[in-house]
A and B are shown apart, each in its own frame.
Chain A
Amino acid sequence: MDLQKNITDATTEIFETMIMMEITPGDPLKELVTTFHHTVSGMVGLAGTFKGLLAIHTPNDVAKAITSNFLGLDVGDIDDDVKDAIGELANMLAGNIKQAIDTTGKDVTLSIPSAVHGEEYTLNCLANAEWMIMPFTTPSGEFLVELQFEKA
């Protein structure tokens, strides 16, 4: 299972198809990131034969640019529309990446997406999980796509 390729392909397809924004993938991070500043994080939990978390972490300016392109309207502040859009983005990423780790489609269940936003917050998932964090560059800045999982 090539997680780097799966995350890159899923993220690129979603941004090309529905957000109409050019993104450039970078190299996977070598250290886990758990603290975020002025960011919106969208998250979907995984349960079943694989358990864990799929998250996208978008700095405020990137979150507003994504939402603006997604909905075709001007976005001023981080509001419920922005959090809903980033949560839905996490949902689409999770659904696409799930297909790579759960080929039958019935061994992993996805949670309802959620989103958090704040000046500073910390996210912790599984203590001993495998993880992959991929950075992507947009015209508005960089965002991260994170997958943490372990076999149940």
Chain B
Amino acid sequence: MGKKILIVDDSNTMRKIVGRSLRQAGLDFDEVFEAGDGQEALNLLATQKVDLILSDINMPNMDGLEFLRQKAANPAIKGIPVVMISTEAGSDIIGEATSLGAAGSIKKPFTPDQVSATLGALL
């Protein structure tokens, strides 16, 4: 059955680029959903099942770290793996994301090969 991926980023440009990189990486998925911040993502997850979430950290309204906190507190969605996509991968912020349950991180800028290497084991 086809896998579903949710991309959470306030930048429409970055959502398009991440979606294109997923296709170029040759990953096994069928459908991509998009959300502009953490709250939009939580709203979407209330009605839509996905297999993997890719999330920015620095976003308005609800950032990626608060999204991780609220997702972890919701038994219905806490098991969905989240990979952070951020300009700050490798920093303490990513350490905090990991402590909140993030399954991995991808640093911007990134190549399709880096996306494939990080996400391949999660799909």
Q: Which of A72, A81, A105 contacts B92 (CB 8 A)?
A: A105
Number of A-B pairs whose CB atoms are under 8 Å?
A: 63
Residues of B73-110 contacting chain A, CB below 8 A: 86-88, 90-93, 108-110
**Chain A interface residue bracket vs B:** 20 to 34
Bound-state CA distance A104–B96 (Å) is 13
Q: Does B10 lie within 8 Å of A112, measured CB to CB?
A: yes
Chain A 71-87 near chain B by CB (<8 Å), digits 1 or 0: 11000000011001101
B20 neighbours in A (Cβ, 8 Å): 72
Q: Does B58 lie within 8 Å of A87, measured CB to CB?
A: no
Bound-state CA distance A99–B87 (Å) is 9
Q: Does B109 lie within 8 Å of A81, measured CB to CB?
A: no
Q: Does B11 lie within 8 Å of A95, measured CB to CB?
A: no
Q: Is B120 an interface residue (CB 8 A)?
A: no
Closest chain-B Cβ to A15's Cβ sits at a distance in Å of: 9
Chain A interface residues toward B at CB < 8 A: 13-14, 17-18, 67, 70-72, 80-81, 84-85, 87-88, 91-92, 94-96, 98-99, 104-106, 110, 112-113
Chain B interface residues toward A at CB < 8 A: 10-14, 16-17, 20, 58-60, 86-88, 90-93, 108-111
